[in-house]
Each structure stands twice: as C-alpha cells, then as structure tokens.
Structure 1
Amino acid sequence: MLWVDHIARIRDHQDKQAFAELFHHFAPRVKGFLINSGADATLAEECAQDVMATLWNKSHQFDPARASVATWIFTIARNRKIDLLRRQRRPDPEDLTWGPQEEPDQTDVLALQQETIALGAALAELPAAQRDLIEKAYFGDLTHSEIATQTGLPLGTIKSRIRLALDRLRHAMK
C-alpha cells in the first residue's frame, strides 16, 4: 500500500477514508513503539492519538523526498513523547512547598556550589554554537524541533551538536 498517496489525499482533499486506513495501520504500531520505549499505556495512548491528529492537521508538511511516511509518523511520535515527558516533569504550583524549610546539610551545599562552578566553567569552554544549543535545550526547555525552527538549523545538526556538547561536559565534570 502506498502511504504517500494516503497522505496526499488527506492533504489535498481531507480524505477521511485515507486517514482511517492510515490510523488503523499506524496508531497501534505507534502505541506499541511508545510502550516499548518506556512509556506507560496511558501516555502511549494519549501520544498515539496526538500523533494521528498531527498527521491530519499537518499532512501538508510531509515531504516524501526527506522521509517515508512511517519514518515521518514515528519521528512525530518520538518528539511528542519527549514533549509530554518534559511537561510531566514540571511541578504543579500546588506541589511546590511554601514557607520555611529545613536547612540543607552544609556539606551538600558546598558540593553543589562546587559542581555548579565546575559546570559553569565547562559550559564556558564549549564552542559558542554548542553552548547556545545546550542553553536553549536545557535552560530554555526547548525541544530539538523548536530549536530547529528558532535557529533555522537542520534537526540533525542540532542533535549532533548537543550530543557532542554533552560528551564534552561529561568528560569535564569527571
């Protein structure tokens, strides 16, 4: 079956039958992929639904010269899972503690200060292009796709630079 034709029918004619066939084929596979990559069933189901809605809404962005339909869909799934996991890690305001808290152990405070200084120095030693991407990804809390949109750099370049920067930081922090 030529899935590219299905995407074109969705893009050009909002063809519900083509979408239903794509959904029937890919949604269970996306859900399984997400579960196999560590997501719980609820997150996988939510993410799979979101991926398929994205397919419907952004079918015009599919470029068969860049990827197959399956690659495009599973890339959306992977990115959506990362986005959802990042959102889950953020604390809700009601989960934040208020008022006086127990003083931390001074040894822990000193160790954290030393690690922070070492990390700052290691970040300063990175090439500017890598440091900028690390700051956007980890301090700006942007996804790789959002960074690509913001900077105009190819997604692969962003991933490579971040991976290289993280390797350099790991070695510097040892």
Structure 2
Amino acid sequence: MNDVDRNTIESECPALIRAVASERSVEAFETLFRYYGPRVRTYMLRQVRDAQAAEELMQETMITVWNKAALFDPARGNVSAWIFRIARNLRIDAHRKNKRPEFDFNDPAFVKDDAPAADLQLEEIQDAERLHRALAQLPQEQLDLLKRSFFDEVSHSAIAQQLGLPVGTVKSRIRLAFAKLRAALESRT
C-alpha cells in the first residue's frame, strides 16, 4: 500500500468508525480490519515475541474495536492512536494474566487435612486417658448418674423417678461428681 492509499484510508477512518458504531457496518469494519489488523499484529509480535499470541491479541483488539466503536471520540485523538491504545491495554492485561499463577484447588496448602495434626491427636488421647482415670476414681453411684445424664441423655427428673430419689439429690450428686472430676483433671495438667 502506498502513501496515497494510506493517507486516504486514515482520513476515512473516523467515518468508518462512525459507520461501525451507528450502523454496525460490516463493510466499514472490514476496511478497518484490513488496514489495522496487520499493523496491530506486527506491533503485538514485537511486544510478545510469539506469533500465535500476537495473532490472538490482534483478533481481540479488532473485536474490541467492533464492540466499542461508539466510544471513539475524535476530539481526544485519531483512530490509529485509539486502536493502538486498545491493543496496548489488551497486551498489558494478557501479560498480567500470564504472570498470575492459576489457583489450584488441589494445592496441599489449600486442602484441608483429613486427620488432625499428630500433636493434637496425642493431646486428645492423653485427655481421654486422664478423663477415664478420673471417671474410674468416682464412686459407682456418681458414675452411674453421670452416665445416665450425659451418655444416655436422660433428664434429671427422669433419673430421679428411675432411682426413687429426689431431683435435688440427683443434681447435687452430679455436681459433686463434676467437682471430683475437675479436681482430678486439674491436678494432672
């Protein structure tokens, strides 16, 4: 293409952009595409040094020109500057996207452990052993009341009826059992 043809197309570009924006003129866009497509591809090739990426970025640039033609403002600059600003911004976005690592849901740092840590498991085992030893030291009647109340989930009034005891007696024996358990567990920590 010689300089005369280039000057003619560049002088027609604002009208071509208006036709794309207002009429969605495929012919006007095709003229813009044939003129700017190779130039944008060459620019992208110099920037990214990858022919396939340059082609994709050129296509994306020209699609953006098609979609955003109504946003072109001739008072702010010429068509060429507008198109190359779009190309530059798309190249920067692509570069940022490529530098950002993909989020891997299977990365061990993000996957919840199936089992608790070994030190927590050991603590839980030791706590359970201390509790069993403390329960073994309780008188049988207090142990029976705790089992019925907490393991069998029987209410205090139901326990009192089953054993023929006043509810206050059941509650005080359970409270006494808790006090003995607390003292036994606190002395061993």
* 1:20 Cα deviation after fit: 0.4
**Is the aligned partner of 1:47 residue 2:66?**
no
C-alpha RMSD of the superposition? 1.7
Partner in structure 2 of residue 82 of structure 1:
92
Which residue identity is paired with 1:48?
M
Aligned to 1:5: 15
Are 1:35 and 2:36 an aligned pair? Answer: no
The amino acid of 1:24's aligned partner reads: R
Aligned to 1:64: 74
How many pairs were matched up? 99
**Deviation for aligned residue 1:35:** 1.0
**Equivalent in 3, 24, 34 of residue 34 of structure 2:** 24
Q: Is the 8 A contact 2:48 2:54 kept in 1?
A: no
Look up the equivalent residue of 2:43 and give its one-letter code: F
Equivalent position amino acid for 1:85 in 2: H
Aligned equivalents of 1:34, 1:96: Cα separation in 2: 35
* Separation of aligned partners in 2, 1:39 and 1:48: 13
Q: What is the Cα deviation at residue 96 of structure 1?
A: 8.1
- 1:36 positional shift: 1.3
Q: 1:96 to 1:75 in 2, by over 3 A?
A: farther
Shift of 1:81: 0.2
- Separation in structure 2 between the aligned mates of residue 22 and residue 52 of structure 1, nearest angstrom: 9
Letter in 2 for 1:65: A
Mapped to 2, the partners of 1:39 and 1:18 lie a distance apart of 30
TM-score normalised by structure 1 residue count: 0.53
- Structure 2, unmatched stretches of 5+, are 1-8, 110-189
SS at match of 2:14: helix
Offset at residue 42 of structure 1 (A): 1.5
**Cα offset, 1:95, TM superposition:** 9.4
**1:106-137 alpha-carbon deviations (Å, 9 max, x no partner):** xxxxxxxxxxxxxxxxxxxxxxxxxxxxxxxx
TM-score (norm 2): 0.49
Whichever residue aligns with residue 5 of structure 1, its letter is A
Structure 1 residue runs without a partner (length 5+): 100-174
Distance 2:57 2:81 in 1: 16
